Structure 1
Amino acid sequence: MNKVFICLSSILLFLFSSSFFVVKEGERGIVLQFGRVLRNHEQKTLVYNPGLHFKLPFLETVKMLDARIHTMDNQADRFVTKEKKDLIVDSYIKWRINDFNRYYLATGGGDIFQAEVLLKRKFSDRLRSEIGCLNVKEIVTDSRGRLTTDVLNALNKGTINLEKASSINVNSMNALGIQVVDVRIKQINLPVEVSDAIYNRMRAEREAVARSQRSQGQEKAEKLRATADYKVSIILSQAKKEALIIKGQGEAIITKLFAENFSNEPYFYYFVRSLRAYENSFKNNGNIMLITSDNDFFKYMNKMITFEK
């Protein structure tokens, strides 16, 4: 009895635990019965919010779908503008599930990779169409925000359905159960071959401007240097002129003083001149002078010798 009770209790416990499932925060759950999505009496998909829920064991299975916002980075691709110029555009998309039933069926069981493949294809086509209607200036300036807004609306709404405007457009992402939250362009570049040509042209232009500036600077430097040299030569010549005038005036004053003093004492004047002559004659510069000792040249020297004796 105990074994039977334990077995029955285990089976009941297993059935009871299999009858409940937990949906985590950031997820939504849909219940499948024999592979079909359960719907309510209004034929709307039953979507289970985070929390504890009940299901029929073995007959129903639960599929968890991520309800958070996803970010899909697109590989930089080449696009052609209205003036037939190539641009390399790098962008990303933010999206989330807004219809779990459509999303589950369109992606083959809720495969995120499959959803992003479909989204990337439609986004690339729509962005290519929008960029083809704009020129480069409009894309990189004020029309950049309008460009992403138009792509976002086109992805969510698709083209207008004239027969039944209230129905979901098959060309929109809503047909896949996806809502595009945001579209952003991260970077717009020119192709490598075009950018290299532009950079080379800009470099050549800048080098030409630099050469022109350097030549103008050298010309101005030469003019300033010539002006400075001219002013220096004028200042030096004027200074030399003033120096010669001052020197001449000084020599004239000295000559006058000597003349006045020597005129008052002529004997002293002759004596000083003889001393200077002795000094210049007896310098050891290799010259030889032959003269008799009783010559008038040695007059004052003979007197000095006599005086010493």
Structure 2
Amino acid sequence: MSMRSRIAVIIAAVIAVGGLMSLFIVDEREKVLVLRFGQIKQVKTDPGLGFKIPWLDQVVRFDDRILSLETPVIEVTPADDRRLEVDAFVMYRIADIVKFRQALGAGGEREASIQLNDILDGQIRAVLGADGVTSNAILSPERSRLMELIRGEAQTRAKDLGLDVVDVRLRQTNLPEQNFDATLQRMIAEREREATDERARGREAAQRVTAVADRTHEETLSAAKRDALIIEGEADAERARILANAFGADPEFFDFYRSLAAYEASILGGNSTLVIPPDHEFLTYMKSATPRVAE
């Protein structure tokens, strides 16, 4: 092979190697930045082939999948001063690779984990230690709302790093071992106080119901006695009217009727012995076989 042929082969080989080195592939699970002397020249977010200048451009790849981070145990003090130990599980993704690179430099995901952990540490302490947030709320279904608050606050700060916080979950919420007995006794005392308050409110309600019932009973009884007296008075008046009419119609018959009533009353109640003179006026109608009755 002549010298000219050898040179042509070498040049072709260099061109082929340079052509291959100028190509790069962007996977669907990643995003790519092309840097030249540390400056961003290209941003590739779609999968496919990309081109660069060999030996001058550097391809930096970033994971486009959802990443996860587990925070260390954090001690928080809610509004009821019952200290808790919590840890969180965070899912996030790199949303803006340009901002991510500018904010974190060559540190990449490792530096992102450190920064995101600091953000979450502050937000967890701020949300769980806020006024009105008690340990009971943290341990109840209300914790879902608290986790959403933490995610929202962390998302605002993580956005400056080019990150998107997808979700935040509190994994474990425990009492510090050294405070467990004291906390348990405080919880028992609080429950006993609540029970005492409930019993006091129950007794107060019972007294109100009893007072209303007693007042209703007295009012009903008084009304019934009043109505009875009215009816009794009306009956006595009617009786007197009837007797007066009877006396006016036949005084002798009226005397006879009253005498019979007196006879009946004198022998009631086991008193069947009556000692009086035979000519006593009480026995006037006893002596007459047939009383005179007005026709």
Contact kept? 1:65, 1:110, Cα under 8 Å: no
The Cα shift of 1:36 comes to 0.7
**Large movers: runs of 4+ above 3 Å:** 196-202
Equivalents in 1 of 2:27, 2:151: separation in Å?
A: 30
SS at match of 2:53: coil
Contact kept? 2:104, 2:111, Cα under 8 Å: yes
- Given the alignment of the two structures, is residue 153 of structure 1 paired with residue 147 of structure 2, yes or no? no
Contact kept? 2:82, 2:183, Cα under 8 Å: no
The Cα shift of 1:91 comes to 1.2
Is the alpha carbon distance of 1:80 and 1:198 closer, same or farther for their aligned partners in structure 2, counting shifts above 3 Å? closer
Equivalents in 1 of 2:173, 2:98: separation in Å?
A: 37
Match of 2:54 among 37, 40, 57: 57
AA at the equivalent of 2:148: T
RMSD of aligned residue pairs (Cα, Å): 2.1
Matches within 5 A, 1:57-206: 57-109=54-106, 111-133=108-130, 134-157=133-156, 172-197=157-182
Question: In structure 1, what is the equivalent of residue 11 of structure 2?
Answer: 8
For structure 2, which runs of at least 5 residues remain unmatched after alignment?
Answer: 188-295
The Cα shift of 1:197 comes to 5.0
Is the alpha carbon distance of 1:103 and 1:110 closer, same or farther for their aligned partners in structure 2, counting shifts above 3 Å? farther
Is the alpha carbon distance of 1:48 and 1:142 closer, same or farther for their aligned partners in structure 2, counting shifts above 3 Å? closer
Equivalents in 1 of 2:117, 2:34: separation in Å?
A: 28
Contact kept? 2:77, 2:129, Cα under 8 Å: yes
Size of the alignment, in residue pairs?
183
Query: Could you list the per-position Cα deviations for residues 50-101 of structure 1 after superposition, in whole angstroms to 9, with x for gaps in the alignment?
Result: 2211122223221111111111011222111112221010211001001101
For structure 1, which runs of at least 5 residues remain unmatched after alignment?
Answer: 40-45, 158-171, 203-309
Question: In structure 2, what is the equivalent of residue 31 of structure 1?
Answer: 34
Query: Could you list the per-position Cα deviations for residues 157-215 of structure 1 after superposition, in whole angstroms to 9, with x for gaps in the alignment?
Result: 2xxxxxxxxxxxxxx1111000100000111100011225567999xxxxxxxxxxxxx
Contact kept? 2:26, 2:44, Cα under 8 Å: no
The Cα shift of 1:136 comes to 0.7
